[in-house]
């Protein structure tokens, strides 16, 4: 049976993963409407991944005798000044998620809940991958610039990621 403080934190994380999915889904719509079809497809796939992150937590809480609680989810931002801003926002968001996962890990450690600690290691590794991925995309903008040609290549590249 999960400790209440840990269940609460896991539930917060479930809602944050939902929010992550919604941010990327909304970004995907922005990209599509601005003609960035590669970025739109990439973000759509990423929104799906976030739902899997949510699902994994949901199942874990259920399996350990807790009650997953779905809360209110804020509407994501829907206006961006540029494609680069979209990806700067993804990176900032992933950094926030990493901070939240780290907080969660700390709580499991404080309560000596090594099973949940162990379960969360998947998220720790995943956050490393996510930050690496989005940092890599920002590097491309910095390297190529943001003229029409560069954006065309970046968008094409995003379709393959
Ligand atoms: Fe993007 O890793 Fe979950 O939130």
Those residues of the chain that have pLDDT short of 50 are: none
Q: Which domain covers residue 142, as residue numbers?
A: 4-70+79-159
pLDDT reported for residue 1: 79
DSSP class of residue 76 equals P
Q: Are 10 and 2 in contact (CB under 8 A)?
A: yes
Residues lining ligand 1, Cβ inside 6 A: 17, 20, 50, 53, 94, 97, 126, 130
* Number of domains observed in the structure of the chain: 1
Question: H-helix or E-strand containing 31?
Answer: helix 4-33
Over its C-alpha atoms, the chain yields an Rg (Å, rounded) of 17
pLDDT reported for residue 118: 98
Question: What is the distance between the alpha carbons of residues 116 and 160, in angstroms, rounded to a whole number?
Answer: 34
Annotated binding site for Fe cation: 17, 50, 53, 94, 127
Per the prediction, the chain carries an average pLDDT of 97
- pTM for the model: 0.95
CA of residue 133 to ligand 1 center, whole Å: 12
- Which CATH number does the domain housing residue 25 bear? 1.20.1260.10
Annotated binding site: 17, 50, 53, 94, 127
- CA nearest neighbour of 10 among 89, 63, 85, 83: 63
Q: Are 65 and 2 in contact (CB under 8 A)?
A: yes
pLDDT reported for residue 57: 98
């Amino acid at each position: 049976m999960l400790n209440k403080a840990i269940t609460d934190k896991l539930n917060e994380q479930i809602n944050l993963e939902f929010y992550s999915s919604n941010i990327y889904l909304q970004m995907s719509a922005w990209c599509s409407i601005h003609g960035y079809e590669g970025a739109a497809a990439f973000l759509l796939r990423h929104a799906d991944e976030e739902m899997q992150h949510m699902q994994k937590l949901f199942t874990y809480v259920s399996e350990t005798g807790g009650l997953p609680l779905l809360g209110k989810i804020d509407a994501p931002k829907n206006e961006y000044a540029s494609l680069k801003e979209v990806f700067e926002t993804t990176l900032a968001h992933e950094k926030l998620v990493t901070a939240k996962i780290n907080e969660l890990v700390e709580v499991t450690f404080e309560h000596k809940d090594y099973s949940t600690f162990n379960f969360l290691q998947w998220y720790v590794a995943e956050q490393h991958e996510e930050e690496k991925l989005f940092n890599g995309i920002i590097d491309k903008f910095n390297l190529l610039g943001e003229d029409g040609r560069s954006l065309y290549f970046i968008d094409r590249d995003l379709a393959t990621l």
